[in-house]
Amino acid sequence: MAAAGSRVRLDLNSPAFQDVFFRLQADDLKQVVGSLRRLGELDWNGLYHHTGFRWEAIEYLTAPNGAKVYSIRLSRRIRAVAFRDGDFLRVISLHLDDDSAYER
């Protein structure tokens, strides 16, 4: 695993993420892109301590690499589900309904 102080690199290639992302309305798209830009400017320590993203573990999910899966707030109503893989934050999906990020 990469150092905790290294910069967050985003992987937005998940088809489930892109399916929702490319259909966002203009206001939601602007907010999500702004949040993704801020994520990419942080190092991992900054992300772990950033209160605005509300980085929360989803205890019943495990990433393909065995890592924990997290929910991250990207706007008032939109959350992403993602996991850490080295320096990469691999975004799995995007959820327009805040609570749907936690559904089994």
CATH code, domain with 31: 3.30.2310.20
Domain of residue 14 covers 9-102
In 12-97, alpha helices (H): 15-21, 26-41, 44-49
pLDDT score recorded for residue 94 = 96
SS3 85: strand
In a domain, 2, yes or no: no
Torsion angle, CA of 65/44/47/99, rounded to 10 degrees? 0
In a domain, 16, yes or no: yes
Would you place residue 36 in the very low, low, confident or very high pLDDT band (cuts 50, 70, 90)? very high
C-beta atoms surrounding 99 within 10 Å: 9
In a domain, 67, yes or no: yes
In a domain, 88, yes or no: yes
Would you place residue 97 in the very low, low, confident or very high pLDDT band (cuts 50, 70, 90)? confident
Confidence check: pLDDT of 103 > 60: no
In a domain, 3, yes or no: no
Query: What is the domain count for the chain?
Result: 1
In a domain, 65, yes or no: yes
In a domain, 83, yes or no: yes
In a domain, 27, yes or no: yes
